[in-house]
Structure 1
């Protein structure tokens, strides 16, 4: 059995992030993900983790 590689964590400054797997033609379809209440989200295709940068706060209005 092979050990799973550690998930890449990408610091972000916005509540919505786009992920395409980062592999160009070897990636996956572009998906837009919204951070949860803890300021994190994981891509369902490639398991990349996106986390709100420390010290960044998001506005909750329009």
Structure 2
């Protein structure tokens, strides 16, 4: 039985992030994800979690 690796959490300072799996040719297609109201979003391809850094101020809109 193989143990699953824990999900990687990446702290960010923007409300939109790009994820390509981080594996170069072994990753996945680049997708842009928007943080949800709680300040987190999970990549549907690789399950990485992007979380807004504590104290980061993000503007939503122009």
2:25 corresponding residue in structure 1:
25
Gaps of 5+ in 2: none
Task: Provide the TM-score with structure 1 as the length reference.
Answer: 0.92
Coordinate RMSD, CA, aligned: 0.9
Q: In structure 1, list runs of 5 or more residues that go unmatched.
A: none
Give TM-score scaled by structure 2 length: 0.92
Q: Aligned equivalents of 1:50 and 1:24: distance in 2?
A: 19
What is the number of equivalent residue pairs in this alignment? 62
